[in-house]
Amino acid sequence: MSELVTGEAVALELRPARLPSRALAVLLDLVAAMAVYVAVTIVLVTSTASLDEAAQTALSIATFVLVLVGGPIAVETLSHGRSLGKLACGLRVVRDDGGPIRFRHALVRGLIAVIEILMTFGIVACIASFVSARGRRLGDVFAGTLVVRERIPVTRTGFVPPPPPWLAGRFSGLDLSAVPDGLWLAVRQYLTRMQQLDPQVGWSMAERLASDLAERTGAPVPQGVPPAAYLAAVVQERQAREARRAFGGDAARAATTAAVPATKGPAASPEARGGTPTVYRPPVGTPEVVSEPSAVERPSGSPAGSAGDRPGTGFVPPA
C-alpha cells in the first residue's frame, strides 16, 4: 500500500490494483472497443464499396488504429484514468504521486499496450503485472502511472481523542504555519494508537513529538501539561482553524465544543456544580504529572493552590 499525505495531514492510501481486477477491466475495455470497431467497420464497408482494394485496406488500418489505439487514449485522457472497464471494476489510473494523468501518460500507456496487450494477447502485460510489487505493466512503468482501487471497503478510522477541557483554547495564539504535514500525520497516528502502545514507550514517543511540535511553533510546552494532552490540544486548535477558514466561526465553535463538556444545565460537569474536579489519569505505568489547576477547575470555596485541589493531568482518551 502506498501512502501520500495531504495538506490536512491525512494519509491518502493508494491501494494498487492487482492482476485479476486489472485483467477483468482490460477485458471489458477490449469487448467495448471491439464492438465499436466492428460497427464502424461495417459502416465503412457498406459506404466505401466503390473504392479500390488499396483504399479499403488503408481505411481498415486507420479504423483499427483510431478505435483500438486512439480510442482508449482519448477515453483515459478525458476521464482522467477511468475507462469503461476500470469504472466498472472500481479502478483508476493515476500518476506515481497520486495526481490525475494527462494526455502524455495516456499516450505512452496506449502505445505500449499495442505490444504488450494486443500483439501478445496480454501475456507480456500479465507477466509484468505479476512480477511488479505494485502490479504495474510496462506501460505504467514507462508512463510513470499506477492503477489503483477507488472503491475500498469501509474500515473504522482512528479516533483522535479530545484534550482535557482545561486545555481547550489555550493554544489559540500558536503559530502553526511552520509545522510540516509529516509531523501532523505522526501526531495524529500517535493519538489514535497510543492506548495500543506500551506505557513507557508511548510516553517517550509523546515527549519526542511534543518537543518537535514545540520547536516548530517556537513556543515551549507549558510546564505541568502532559505531552499527550498537549498534542491533542494543538491538533484540536488546528482543526478549529481549518473549520473557521472553511465554514466560518460557527463551525469552529462547534468543533471545539464537541470535545468540551457543557458547563451549564442539568448535564453540567462536577466542576461547574462545585463538586470534585475531574481527574485525568495516565495509563498504568506512565508517570503522573501534576499541575496547578486553573480557576475554572477549582471548586468554589477551596483555597487557591492547596495540595488537595490539584487534579492529576495525565491524559486518557474517552472509552
Rounded Cα–Cα distance for residues 136 and 16 (Å): 8
DSSP type of residue 157: P
Q: Give the cell for residue 225.
A: 501539561
Strand-pair category, 145-149 with 91-95: antiparallel
Cα diameter, the chain: 107
Query: Residue holding cell 482518551?
Result: 317
Whether the CB-CB separation of 238 and 184 falls below 8 Å is answered with yes
Angle between helices 227-247 and 249-257 (to 10 degrees): 150
| Cβ count near 204 (within 10 Å) | 13
Rounded Cα–Cα distance for residues 88 and 108 (Å): 23
Number of H helices, E strands in the chain: 11, 4
The burial of 150, by beta-carbon neighbours within 10 Å (0-12 exposed, 13-18 middle, 19 or more buried), is given as middle
Give φ, ψ of 166 to 5 degrees: -70, -5
| Cβ count near 11 (within 10 Å) | 12
Give φ, ψ of 49 to 5 degrees: -65, -25
This prediction's pTM? 0.47
Residue type for position 184: W
| Cβ count near 136 (within 10 Å) | 23
Residues of the chain where predicted confidence (pLDDT) is lower than 70: 1-14, 151-159, 248-319
Rounded Cα–Cα distance for residues 70 and 104 (Å): 13
DSSP type of residue 119: I
In terms of phi and psi (left: phi > 0; alpha: psi -120 to 50; beta: otherwise), the region of 135 is left
- The pLDDT value recorded for residue 77 is 92
- The pLDDT value recorded for residue 177 is 84
Rounded Cα–Cα distance for residues 144 and 107 (Å): 12
The burial of 5, by beta-carbon neighbours within 10 Å (0-12 exposed, 13-18 middle, 19 or more buried), is given as middle
CA distances from 31 to 24, 25, 85 (A): 11, 10, 9
Rounded Cα–Cα distance for residues 235 and 256 (Å): 11
User: What DSSP element (H or E) covers 148?
Assistant: strand 145-149
Cβ contacts of 45 within 8 Å, gap of 6 or more? 56
| Cβ count near 206 (within 10 Å) | 24
Whether the CB-CB separation of 91 and 150 falls below 8 Å is answered with yes
Q: What is the dihedral of CA 192, 196, 201, 205, to 10 degrees?
A: -10
